[in-house]
Structure 1
Amino acid sequence: MSIELPSAFLNNMKAQLGKSYDDFIASYEKPPFKAMLCRFGLNVQDRQAVPWASGAYYILDEEKLGSDPLHEAGAYYLQEPSAMAAPQVLTPNPGETVLDLCAAPGGKSIGLAFLMQNKGLLVANEIHPTRAKVLSQNIERMGITNCIVCSTSPEKLCDIFESAFDKILVDAPCSGEGMFRKLEEARTQWNEDSPMQCAIRQGKILESAAKMLKPGGKICYSTCTFNTVENEGVIDDFLHNHPDFNLEAFSLKGLPHAKHGIMRLLPHEIDGEGHFIALLKKRDGLEECSNSVHTHDNVEANKYEETRNCTDKCIEKFSHINDNYIKSSSTSDSIFTAPTYSNQKADKFIESICHAPKINGIFGNTYVSAPCSIDTFEGIKLLRFGLHIANDRGKYILPDHALALACVVKNRLEIDRETAIKYLSGETLNIDNSLKDWLSPTYKGYQLGWGKAVNGQLKNHYPKGLRKYLI
């Protein structure tokens, strides 16, 4: 085996996998799989689909798609194939309120937003500020319009958003054993104490998620690790302390049916890395009070059930958010109130250059179209609040970069790859004298950003912090 793996990890896996251990070890002789999650319209001819994720396709190891202008235009998001499964298990619907509690770098949030069709409210949270910035940039690049990006602790969020979300994804920070084939740092940072240390933190995060979930709602808990301590062990402890939750069966195309609500993705069984997924449902007070608790000594795990008595809890349900985003059957007041802000001057300017939703909020100096009022998030650090439409610079208004990546610009200029690379590096472009005012350079039909045509030149408004010279 060319990859050196920790001996304690190997001993654990041998005990866990039994007869399939040799096949597991042999998988480390193969390169890790790579894939891309695509926006509508991308030409994916002759590419092999990732069976369990809609709009996802495998890419070749030698392809340098991260250096293509289409990547910067948000035509696709590069992601490990197994990591695409969790959003598909949670299956958020358009119009729901959804939380991605540990969201950076953003791939799973993007998957959730695609399934929601940019309708409803998606809150993507990341406690670490540097990672939260990357998360916000990826949400912007992929044209997500219904997402609020914040950076705070799960404990602080649950103080504000008790029983507020229809569905929650907890892609918990873990020991990363499932990434050993892909990432050297995952192997070097692991030690025998890692699983237990991570499990303590994971249990606390799951506790916060439970408080923020509506009755009848679902939590998808996922990790990219193999050990039972962080996976079945965390789930068992959670169910023991939460008799109002059950594991719920689910299916994904191309994978075995998870009839007990738990699925393991193993690199010798699928074209992807290692992941664990569990689907939990919170009873709404009308369902039978029973829990299915699962412990796994190996992949074909032992299972047991225990029934507990529980008392129904009367928990307030929240009603619909801004009707343009959220639809709900509840009739009581919502914690997420509809935004009421308006600015006719900014709307008129944006209407002249782009097909965009109406401005309904202001975030600092940025006009936004948001799924709810910003007042709901008082005291929480916010990085992105819905679709950023325009920036107020006092004497004038500038269109926001996010607007060009999310909405159809009225005046567009198709350019070749060489010119696209110049634009993305911040260069001024020479263009036809007949072109005037604001337009978007496009590459293969995908808008790259903003430029202003003046006297045969396109003044470059690609954000300085994003500029790069692609090779």
Structure 2
Amino acid sequence: MELPVKFTEKMKELLGEDYAKYLDSFEESRHYGLRVNMLKETAQHLQTRNAFTLAPVPWCGEGFYYTEGERPAKHPYYHAGIYYLQEPSAMCPGAVLPIDVGDRVLDICAAPGGKSTQLGARLQGVGLLVANDISVGRAKALLKNIELFGIRNSVVMSEPPGKLAERFSSFFDKIIIDAPCSGEGMFRKERDMMKSWDENMLAFCQKEQGEILESCAQMLRPGGMMLYSTCTFAIEENEKRIGDFLEKHGEFSLVPIDKSHGFSDGIGEFRHCARLYPHQIKGEGHFLALMQKEGYSEPINLEGEVGEDEKNLAPFHEFAKTVLKITFKGTYKFFGENLYLLPKEMPSMKGLRVLRTGWQLGTLKKGRFEPSQAFAMGLSKNDVQNVADFPLEDDRVIRYLKGETVEADGKDGWTLVCVDGFPLGWAKRQGGRLKNKYAVGWKWE
């Protein structure tokens, strides 16, 4: 292993006598983590299922380490959205930012979705989650993870932070900034990242970080809280970046972060920030700064979307009457042929590049309603009249996930296919056979 020379010099100065311990951490095995989806399962209950060898991540109540060699991504529970695979230190920002049920929350650099799925689960279906990533390609991966988790009250978009600031002034209660950075904290886990590290990259990241902070400052309401995080050790991207921001914005102040899990104080006057070092915790390098905007105001209410005429919803209501056991309250809206149930707090997104607006229920095809994969993932077994619930060890689970037709007795019609009670997707049952409607792009390979 050969670290960049300038990086080595900076780390020796930063860590002092701890530098040798930091180097020793490169000889240790990396840590693997998963985070339980609290919309569908409890951390305690997942442990009792004995699907994996789990040990708690101390700074995240729903987080666990799993053993190297286990393959939770190749398990039906992953396809049921019961957990998200996430490096343990990366669970910190979503755990540290205080979230109240009903908050309006913005994840400004959201892809691939680790923090968004964590925040969405903490909202418990109430309030609004706006998950944004400037890269459309990355935002598509973000969208899949949000749908897999069954998060109903989210908007997924792909816009520059400055454009969002023009539309959402003082709108959000909480904002999380997982800022683009030089990635020094990931060198131990991903050695290839060292190749792209240089002073030019640091300068580029600092500029991006400053611009994102400025935009988010505009979007946070007085009294709201903002969490800034990086996966780097560079003071220029961490304490100095926060110092420059606070000097310009006297209305913001740092909020102390709990350090009881092996975290270190921030450097110098920024002791309220938190630093995570791989030689002190079971995880990679991270930096956290929690800030609050002074004062108090209710979030500004922006113009919302106009709901759909009831006559246009007749095919969906007919489907719901024969397939569902529950009804939904909210604003229904067609975008093209796709029908969505919009979050209560959602303003109009006209003119913005939006990949998903609320909960996609399904598609209107030739006057008939066909339910979506996202709709299935946001339901529970008890919400649907016809269910095919297979135990984990049943070979029909994998066959269904591969897109095959499987056999299952029951009433003909739309059927929710589940594993151990957790939805996987739709099928249409006829004569004891389930015609597979699992999303093509999600199939088990």
TM-score (norm 1): 0.85
Cα deviation code 1:377-399 (max 9, x no counterpart): 11111111121112111321111
Aligned to 2:20: 22
The alpha-carbon deviation at position 88 of structure 1 amounts to: 1.6
Q: How many residues align?
A: 422
Find runs of 4+ consecutive structure 1 residues off by over 6 angstroms. none
AA aligned to 1:442 is C
Match of 2:304 among 334, 337, 342: 337
Match of 1:263 among 274, 278, 303: 274
The answer to whether the 8 Å contact 2:373/2:439 transfers is: yes
Aligned to 2:348: 376
AA aligned to 1:335 is L
AA aligned to 1:236 is G
Q: CA RMSD in A?
A: 2.0
Matched, 1:418 2:416: no
The answer to whether the 8 Å contact 1:340/1:373 transfers is: no
**Partner SS for 2:235:** coil
AA aligned to 1:282 is K
Q: How does 1:384-463 map to 2 (within 5 A)?
A: 384-408=356-380, 409-415=384-390, 416-432=393-409, 434-463=410-439
The answer to whether the 8 Å contact 2:330/2:343 transfers is: no
Cα deviation code 1:415-453 (max 9, x no counterpart): 345322221121111233x43111122122211100000
Give the Cα separation in 2 of the matches to 1:373 and 1:348.
27
Q: How does 1:168-207 map to 2 (within 5 A)?
A: 168-207=175-214
**Partner SS for 2:47:** coil
The answer to whether the 8 Å contact 2:259/2:274 transfers is: no
Task: Check 1:6–1:101 CA distance in 2 against 1; reply closer, same or farther (3 A cut).
Answer: same
**Partner SS for 1:236:** helix
Task: Check 1:260–1:14 CA distance in 2 against 1; reply closer, same or farther (3 A cut).
Answer: closer
AA aligned to 1:340 is G
The alpha-carbon deviation at position 374 of structure 1 amounts to: 6.6
Q: How does 1:69-468 map to 2 (within 5 A)?
A: 69-251=76-258, 254-256=261-263, 260-284=271-295, 317-318=298-299, 334-335=301-302, 337=304, 340-341=307-308, 342=310, 343-354=313-324, 355=326, 357-358=328-329, 360-362=331-333, 363-372=335-344, 376-408=348-380, 409-415=384-390, 416-432=393-409, 434-468=410-444
Aligned to 1:50: 57
The alpha-carbon deviation at position 358 of structure 1 amounts to: 3.8
- Structure 1 vs Structure 2: percent identity of aligned residues? 38
Deviates more, 1:409-418 or 1:393-402: 409-418
Task: Check 1:359–1:166 CA distance in 2 against 1; reply closer, same or farther (3 A cut).
Answer: closer
AA aligned to 1:440 is L
Give the Cα separation in 2 of the matches to 1:394 and 1:339.
24
AA aligned to 2:15 is L
AA aligned to 1:211 is Q
Give the Cα separation in 2 of the matches to 1:348 and 1:158.
41
The answer to whether the 8 Å contact 2:263/2:275 transfers is: no
The answer to whether the 8 Å contact 2:264/2:275 transfers is: no
Task: Check 1:422–1:318 CA distance in 2 against 1; reply closer, same or farther (3 A cut).
Answer: same
Give the Cα separation in 1 of the matches to 2:331 and 2:224.
29
AA aligned to 2:74 is S
TM-score (norm 2): 0.90
Between structures 1 and 2, the one with greater helix share = 2
AA aligned to 2:216 is A
**Partner SS for 2:46:** coil
